[in-house]
Amino acid sequence: MVIEIEPNFYEDFMRASKLFIQTLRDFPNDAEAMSHKLLVRAGFIKKLANGIYTYMPLMKRVLDKVSKITREEMNAAGAQELLMPFVQPAELWQKSGRWQVYGKELMRMKDRHDNEMCLAPTHEEVVTSVADGILASYKQLPVNLYHIQLKFRDEIRPRFGLLRGREFIMKDAYSFHTSEESLDEEYQNMAEAYKKIFKRCGLETRMVQSDSGAIGGSVSHEFMVLVDTAVGEDDVFYCEKCGYSANSNHAISKLNETETDGGFKELKTVDTPNVKTIEDLAKFFNIKENCILKAVLYIASFADEETPDKPVLVMIRGDKEVEETKLSNAVGALEVRKAVDEEVVEALGCEPGYLSFLGAADKNVEILFDETARGMNNFVIGANEPHKHITGYNFSDITEKDVKEVKFFDISLVKAGEGCPDCGAPLKITRGIEVGNIFKLGTKYSKPMNALYTDENGKTHPYIMGCYGIGISRTAAAAVERYHDEFGIIWPLEIAPYHAVVVPVNTNDEAQVKLAEEIYEKLKKAGIEVVLDDRADRAGVKFKDADLIGYPFRITVGKTIAEGLVEFKKRDEKDVLKLSPDEAVNLVVEQVSAAK
């Protein structure tokens, strides 16, 4: 007896001889990430241009599954689906102010009437304009609108295949509220929905605090798939004791030593010939690195192309490094980079190694102090003169000629082992792939776009908004990054392109072919998404392809049919079970049902 589950509405089965696919013998040579290598080699994606791929039939099925899970959970969470345009007028973006600041990631073009347009990198502007006029009264709010749609970002470094493409598929949701409390509730609601979505995709994720980046807003969290390779582009600091987790661009720590005193009794300029690095200085003076106030010069560039690049001098405790996203945010820059030697000399009049803010107040340099500098006493700084440093320096020694206003920012990079900001336990570090994020936007878009609702008293206010993204194509690739072995992909059952493959070992053996066909029919009838590998190839080739493609279950019909048995194998297990054909079918059906 074969158990039946409800069949899907479209035909979920396939003969391998008909499948539109090309598997490759080798990995593509332009790929670094395993997910990129495997998805190309197993025939899931085909490159059209840098960061632009065709999703082949197997990939389309995976994407549909991730989308379906996402859609079901978004609907269950009370959000409504719509679909917004991919090509958008510049006018909207000018209204929000982002046309000027979005930079080169925004793909701009002109239509035949010379109107400026862009390809959608995201939809805050459009959704705000759509809501405006329809969500007129407080009685209609809150509302959460979402869509699943192509986005285009002319990424500076498209890489890792689908993980960072230029064209990619995103689920994006936007919520509209009359109060912060209402936004808080929806933010929580979405966080819960996200946890369910990724879990149902068979992916373990961690929700981490993060920087709000170009989208703006105040609070945001990212959902990270943790990986231990550089393909995880983000560093995540986490605490095993209390659960604190944050992207390195947002993480803070309790420093082991808050009070740092160099112990120098007097303020003195000291010759330090060729002693340039923090390490050498610490040795030279026989002090700890955290008793040196380090100066690092950066060049900030701004999204608004009219604003010229600007040198920024960061003063930070000697043992600490600068976190560049934090620094960019502190100076309102698009990005920062370390200055080269010539730029240092031009900005500060001194070669690197001896730098500080001394006499820099009237120079064209913005000066920032990192929080770690606070609490330092009698320390060492550069004299801003070649081959000289000053010992016994204190904040009270700073004059108007040096720094007009001493401003502290959190711009340092946390290090593993430093204390968790919440509970003090040592922080750990790992890498992560961001598969989704949630933001509180507030009135960042509604205000400039004048998108208003009317309250109980007839007064108008801009909507308070939130936005919530999931990279559909990135999530699928992250699953491959996380689950594979030397033979190929190991798809989580929930998002596998097909559940099972049936492999007749010898297609010239009529009995084998007949039984394989029967099993195929039974699985089809039971609603299992199944491929029959009816190709006349050698069994070895078919097994290799099955492993490469990553079907969760394989039923092999070979010589053992003489004993009335077939082989059943799970992709993620070594063991092969010998079962009767019906037992094998039932095992697949049971496991697929359990995962639904």
Instruction: Decide: is 444 part of the binding site for ligand ATP (CB under 6 A).
Output: no
Report, in Å, the least distance between residue 220 CB and ligand ATP.
8
DSSP state of 265: -
Instruction: Decide: is 434 part of the binding site for ligand ATP (CB under 6 A).
Output: yes
- Scanning residues 467 to 526, which ones bind ligand ATP (CB under 6 A)? 469, 471, 473-474
DSSP state of 351: -
Q: Stretches 73-81, 260-268, 412-420, 429-437: which one binds ligand ATP (CB under 6 A)?
A: 429-437
- CA distances for 500 relative to 24, 423, 492, 493, 575, angstroms: 21, 47, 12, 9, 16
**The pair of three-digit structure tokens given for residue 452, joined into one six-digit string:** 């208003």
Nearer to ligand ATP among residue 378 and residue 437 (C-beta): 437
Q: Stretches 284-292, 371-379, 431-439, 565-573: which one binds ligand ATP (CB under 6 A)?
A: 431-439
Instruction: Decide: is 155 part of the binding site for ligand ATP (CB under 6 A).
Output: yes
Nearer to ligand ATP among residue 43 and residue 165 (C-beta): 165
How far the first Cα of the chain sits from its last, in Å, is: 21
**DSSP per residue, 380-427:** EEE-SSTTEEEEEE-GGG--TTT-SS--EE--BPP-TTSBPTTT-PBP
Count of residues interacting with ligand ATP (CB under 6 A): 16
Instruction: Decide: is 436 part of the binding site for ligand ATP (CB under 6 A).
Output: yes
- Report the C-alpha gap between 3 and 587 in whole angstroms: 10
Q: Stretches 24-32, 273-281, 434-442, 568-576: which one binds ligand ATP (CB under 6 A)?
A: 434-442
The answer to whether the beta carbons of residues 535 and 23 sit under 8 Å apart is: no
Nearer to ligand ATP among residue 469 and residue 550 (C-beta): 469
User: Which candidate, 366, 352, 381, places its Cα nearest to that of 293?
Assistant: 381
- For residue 16, which phi and psi values (nearest 5 degrees)? -60, -30
Instruction: Decide: is 320 part of the binding site for ligand ATP (CB under 6 A).
Output: no
Instruction: Decide: is 432 part of the binding site for ligand ATP (CB under 6 A).
Output: no
- Report the C-alpha gap between 285 and 273 in whole angstroms: 13
Applying CB under 6 A, among 165, 232, 550, 552 the residue interacting with ligand ATP is 165
Applying CB under 6 A, among 61, 164, 317, 389 the residue interacting with ligand ATP is 164
Instruction: Decide: is 221 part of the binding site for ligand ATP (CB under 6 A).
Output: no
Instruction: Decide: is 175 part of the binding site for ligand ATP (CB under 6 A).
Output: no
Sheet of 379-382: strand order equals: 268-271, 388-393, 379-382
Instruction: Decide: is 122 part of the binding site for ligand ATP (CB under 6 A).
Output: yes
The answer to whether the beta carbons of residues 318 and 293 sit under 8 Å apart is: yes
Q: What per-residue string of b and e applies to 417-438 under the rule 16 or more CB within 10 Å gives b?
A: ebbbbeeeeebeebbbbbbbbb
Q: Stretches 160-168, 176-184, 333-341, 567-575: which one binds ligand ATP (CB under 6 A)?
A: 160-168
Q: Point out which residues bind ligand ATP (CB under 6 A).
A: 122, 153, 155, 164-165, 168, 170, 213, 434-437, 469, 471, 473-474
